[in-house]
Structure 1
């Protein structure tokens, strides 16, 4: 059996982190997922 795991690399710019947008960005990605 072959298992395929899809991995996504997410790069968030430091200014995004400073504005506490990480949670919102991840939420958007999860909704698309």
Structure 2
């Protein structure tokens, strides 16, 4: 799921896709550790 979303966002802008993927990854880790 994460990779597909990142690819779609990547077409709009590499920087924004990186930030979005980082936010998703951080949220996933926090949710997993919580």
Q: Same fold (TM over 0.5)?
A: no
Q: Which of structures 1 and 2 has the bigger CA Rg?
A: 1
- More helix by percentage: 2
TM range (shorter): 0.3 to 0.5
Per the normalisation by structure 2, the TM-score is 0.42
